[in-house]
């Protein structure tokens, strides 16, 4: 059996979640390869060593470049802020390492294009690259894609998608790197809006043709935790709303905000077709609402609840008996499984860097449209 060593770059929130996935995946699924949590890299040696011990990594370093020279590292998992994604991913691919990179793929279209080009070159040598749009691996959403692909909804006419959080509604909430364009690239649009952009294109197996958008920054300055009495300037959006049209003609609306008071992680999507509809809310992540217009007409028409916990539903064969729901971290375990399977099979994992680039182009078009008073902006091919 193939042996694959993993290096994790970054160990904050996302690094901890990815660590959970690497610790868990081999205990749930029969893997095509043995996985070793080889090394964790961070900015400070002491913090990296502490995190490695807590999260289950064998070794640690404060030099991410050093992990690329290690023969016992085969996969590089990037969980850093967006401003370093391109440098790390391109270097790792050129060093012959498979790469998993958190979303959004980069901070700019140019950086995402460089990453996609590097992934294309690496593919010729059997090296794989995956973008971390993890919500694709929520069983209820994977089931939704199956229903759409099977024609259960007919011709798709509408998509409405929203990602609602409230962690910034208080003007006194502290400044962080997510509020700085140089580090994050974009605000709510890139951080959480990228998820619903990718998810809608994944569900429909179609791409967005163009957008008309508005963005807003509600609080311009926020307190700096390391400099009492001083503030940091917010240089990204707090919220974004836009309409879109898919190449197949579907109309869509999107909203991404960190100011929806009372909403903690409400990723919501509804798809309406000529034969039926489906709806999903991540705050009830094990449920999918489905309406079959042919089977449920007239006075009994409406949505029915599907509990997506059956062994025949996507990813559920390795988990608990029906009715015993999964949580946020499980989708990351499914992501690790899919990457390992693709590496073993010699196939391209999905979503790849090309799909990450496609999302980056939509983000750029939204920003361009908002800057030009909602002008309809087409997505480059």
pLDDT(288) > 80: yes
- Per-residue pLDDT of 204-217, as tens digits, reads 999 999 999 999 99
pLDDT of residue 294: 86
Domains and CATH numbers, the chain: 2-132 (3.40.50.720), 136-349+359-371 (3.30.360.10)
pLDDT band at 368 (very low <50, low <70, confident <90, very high): very high
pLDDT of residue 296: 77
**pTM surpassing 0.85?**
yes
Q: Please give the average per-residue pLDDT across 210-232, as a whole number.
A: 96
- Per-residue pLDDT of 192-203, as tens digits, reads 999 999 999 999
pLDDT of residue 351: 98
- Per-residue pLDDT of 85-96, as tens digits, reads 999 999 999 999
pLDDT(278) > 80: yes
Q: Please give the average per-residue pLDDT across 48-61, as a whole number.
A: 98
pLDDT of residue 171: 95
**Exposure of 226 by Cβ count < 10 A (0-12 exposed, 13-18 middle, 19+ buried)?**
exposed
pLDDT of residue 300: 81
pLDDT of residue 1: 76
pLDDT of residue 299: 80
Q: Please give the average per-residue pLDDT across 230-245, as a whole number.
A: 98
Lowest-pLDDT range of 84-98, 242-256, 288-302, 360-374: 288-302
Which has the higher per-residue pLDDT, 299 or 205? Answer: 205
pLDDT band at 355 (very low <50, low <70, confident <90, very high): very high
Give the C-alpha separation, 286 to 308, whole Å. 5
Identify whether the C-beta of residue 211 lies closer than 8 Å to the C-beta of residue 376.
yes
Query: To 5 degrees, how large is the angle CA 144–CA 380–CA 355?
Result: 40
């Amino acid at each position: 059996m193939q042996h694959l060593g993993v290096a994790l770059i970054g160990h904050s929130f996302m690094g901890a979640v990815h660590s959970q996935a690497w610790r868990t995946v081999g205990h749930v699924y029969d893997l095509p390869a043995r996985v070793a949590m080889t090394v964790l890299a961070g900015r400070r040696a002491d913090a990296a060593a502490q995190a490695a011990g807590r999260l289950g990594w064998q070794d640690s370093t404060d030099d991410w470049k050093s992990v690329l020279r290690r023969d016992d590292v085969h996969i590089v998992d990037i969980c850093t802020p967006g401003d370093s994604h391109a440098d790390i991913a391109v270097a790792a691919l050129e060093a012959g390492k498979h790469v998993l990179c958190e979303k959004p793929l980069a901070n700019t279209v140019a950086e995402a294009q460089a990453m996609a080009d590097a992934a294309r070159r690496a593919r010729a040598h059997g090296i794989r690259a995956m973008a971390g749009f993890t919500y694709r691996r929520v069983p209820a959403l994977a089931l939704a894609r199956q229903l759409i692909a099977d024609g259960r909804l007919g011709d798709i006419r509408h998509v409405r998608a929203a990602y609602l959080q409230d962690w910034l509604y208080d003007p006194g909430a502290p400044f962080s790197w997510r509020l700085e364009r140089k580090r994050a690239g974009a605000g709510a649009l890139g951080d959480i809006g990228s998820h619903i952009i990718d998810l809608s294109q994944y569900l429909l197996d179609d791409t967005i043709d163009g957008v008309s958008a508005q963005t807003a920054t509600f609080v311009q300055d926020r307190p700096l935790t390391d400099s009492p009495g001083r503030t940091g300037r917010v240089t990204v959006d707090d919220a974004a709303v836009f309409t879109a049209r898919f190449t197949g003609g579907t109309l869509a609306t999107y909203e991404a905000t960190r100011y929806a008071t009372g909403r903690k992680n409400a990723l919501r999507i509804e798809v309406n077709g000529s034969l039926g509809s489906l709806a999903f809310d991540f705050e009830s992540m094990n449920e999918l609402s489905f309406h079959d217009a042919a089977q449920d007409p007239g006075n009994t028409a409406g949505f029915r609840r599907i509990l997506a916990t059956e062994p025949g539903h996507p990813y559920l064969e390795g988990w608990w008996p029906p009715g015993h729901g999964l949580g946020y971290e499980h989708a990351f375990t499914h992501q690790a499984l899919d990457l390992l399977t693709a590496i073993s099979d010699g196939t391209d994992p999905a979503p790849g860097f090309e799909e990450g680039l496609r999302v980056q182009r939509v983000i750029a078009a939204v920003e361009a449209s908002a800057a030009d008073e909602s002008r309809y902006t087409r997505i480059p091919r």
